[in-house]
Amino acid sequence: MLKNLLKVSLLAIVLMASACKKKENEDPKEWVRGSDFEGIRRSGATSFVINGKVYITGGFDGEKRLNDLWTYNEEKSNWIRVKNDKAEDVVFPGKARNYAVAFTVNGKAYVGSGFDGKDALSDFYEYDPVPKTWKKVAADFPGEARYGGVAFAANGLGVVGTGTNKAGDLVDFYTYNPQTDQWKKVSSLPSSKRSNAFTFTIGETVYIGGGLNNGSYLSDFWRYSVKEDAWVRLNDLNRPKKPYEYNLSRQFASTFVIGNNGYLIGGSSGQLLSSVWKYRADTDDWKQYGDFKGAAREAAIGFSIGNQGFITTGRNGSTLFDDTWIFTPSK
């Protein structure tokens, strides 16, 4: 009996020490709550950055799709509804939608594709922040209409690919040249079709991973060069053996870039996630941080300003969010 009690006591001490160690590795100051997003709570919104200024449009509020446009005021740390010179609200001119994509080239943003509640979409619109006006891009996206795709910009071109529609998931990619208003098909992702993947860009190098295909969470991770139109497969997101032991397969995750590192936050892989991971491009692996301090969520917006990352909106089941959280990495 005494021997068993000693074993139980020793086990309890080990578990307590392990728990204390985990808490010591988490910096409570890394995540702080910022100013709430002042628009309607939503998920599946679209964001873009022009000259360091962040904008959010679209999304789904649980009943309808949205077309309002908001920007984050870094100086006052709050959200502002975008208005034109006549003090009128600026709205996205196409069909209200969620799961659209956006990219920014030469000081203008391009927003398109998405889901209007009935159909997948293929139209694109250009936003000019100086007159605060939208106009339809003359050349519609040439691939199949889609939502839940990815988009990014590099080498003066916008790039759009993957996603899904009623026919199924997609794997093709296209570039858009704003100077010629022309789309061009480029190399498809040499892997599984997918929707709701994540992407981030470090310099001119683009990284894409995860997503969902036929009900399966994908674990492949890729680097893409727009200039060379070349894909390179990197280490998988699922590395179960020591010294790594992580599985970052997920959909609807949020990302941002701070310095030369990409960060992956939340999403879902059968259950909602709160984990936070930093991608180290020099070693092609991931480092885990303390969990996101807000409620676990998916389909949220992620962006960065300077040395801080931001997460706002998103959903947890039928619960929608409008809180904003600010991340400052401690190391």
The model's pLDDT over 76-115, given as tens digits with 9 standing for 90+, comes to 999 999 999 999 999 999 999 999 999 999 999 999 999 9
Residue 93 belongs to some domain of the structure: yes
Cβ pair 325, 281 in contact under 8 A = no
Residue 9 belongs to some domain of the structure: no
Residue that wins the pLDDT comparison between 10 and 140: 140
Confidence at residue 6, expressed as pLDDT on a 0 to 100 scale: 38
Confidence at residue 27, expressed as pLDDT on a 0 to 100 scale: 67
Query: Which pair of structure tokens corresponds to residue 115?
Result: 């889901």
Confidence at residue 29, expressed as pLDDT on a 0 to 100 scale: 82
Helices (H) and strands (E) in the chain, counts: 1, 30
Confidence at residue 10, expressed as pLDDT on a 0 to 100 scale: 40
The model's pLDDT over 23-51, given as tens digits with 9 standing for 90+, comes to 334 566 899 999 999 999 999 999 999 99
Residues 6+ apart with CB under 8 A from 114: 46, 58, 97, 98, 99, 100, 101, 120, 121, 147
Confidence at residue 97, expressed as pLDDT on a 0 to 100 scale: 98
* Distance separating alpha carbons of residues 110 and 289, to the nearest angstrom: 33
Confidence at residue 44, expressed as pLDDT on a 0 to 100 scale: 98
Q: Where are the beta strands (DSSP E) in 66-155?
A: 69-73, 78-81, 101-105, 108-112, 124-128, 133-136, 150-154
* Distance separating alpha carbons of residues 67 and 21, to the nearest angstrom: 46
* Distance separating alpha carbons of residues 110 and 189, to the nearest angstrom: 22
Q: Whole-prediction pTM value?
A: 0.91
CATH of the domain at 283: 2.120.10.80
**CA atoms within a 13 Å half-sphere pointing along the CA-CB vector of 130:** 3
Residue 283 belongs to some domain of the structure: yes
Confidence at residue 21, expressed as pLDDT on a 0 to 100 scale: 38
Give the domain range for residue 284: 42-327
Confidence at residue 28, expressed as pLDDT on a 0 to 100 scale: 63
Confidence at residue 48, expressed as pLDDT on a 0 to 100 scale: 98
Tell me the average pLDDT across 123-136: 97
- List, as one string, the DSSP characters of 251-300: BS-EEEEETTEEEEE--BSSSB---EEEEETTTTEEEEESPPSS---BS-
pLDDT of 12 higher than 90: no
CB atoms within 10 A of CB 92: 21
Residue type, 223: R
Residues 6+ apart with CB under 8 A from 67: 57, 58, 91, 92, 93, 94, 95, 96, 97
pLDDT of 20 higher than 50: no
User: Could you tell me which residues are beta bridge partners of residue 288?
Assistant: 277
Q: Is 129 exposed, middle or buried (0-12, 13-18, 19+ CB in 10 A)?
A: middle
Residue closest to 39 by CA, chosen among 75, 66, 64: 66
Residue 219 belongs to some domain of the structure: yes
pLDDT of 22 higher than 70: no
Confidence at residue 26, expressed as pLDDT on a 0 to 100 scale: 55
Residue 5 belongs to some domain of the structure: no
Residue 37 belongs to some domain of the structure: no
For tokens 């970052």, the residue is 248
- Comparing 18-22, 101-105, 133-137, 200-204, the range with the smallest average pLDDT is 18-22
The model's pLDDT over 271-296, given as tens digits with 9 standing for 90+, comes to 999 999 999 999 999 999 999 999 99
Cβ pair 146, 157 in contact under 8 A = no
CA distances from 329 to 144, 221, 246, 261, 326 (A): 40, 23, 20, 11, 10
Tell me the average pLDDT across 9-19: 39
Residue 14 belongs to some domain of the structure: no
- Comparing 6-10, 37-41, 187-191, 224-228, the range with the smallest average pLDDT is 6-10
Confidence at residue 139, expressed as pLDDT on a 0 to 100 scale: 87
206-243: buried (b, 16+ CB within 10 Å) or exposed (e) per residue?
bbbbbbbbeeebbbbbbbbebeeeebeebebbebeeee
Average pLDDT, the chain: 92
* Distance separating alpha carbons of residues 172 and 160, to the nearest angstrom: 8
Confidence at residue 330, expressed as pLDDT on a 0 to 100 scale: 86
Q: How many residues does the chain have?
A: 331
* Distance separating alpha carbons of residues 29 and 128, to the nearest angstrom: 37
Our count of domains for the chain comes to 1
Residue 29 belongs to some domain of the structure: no
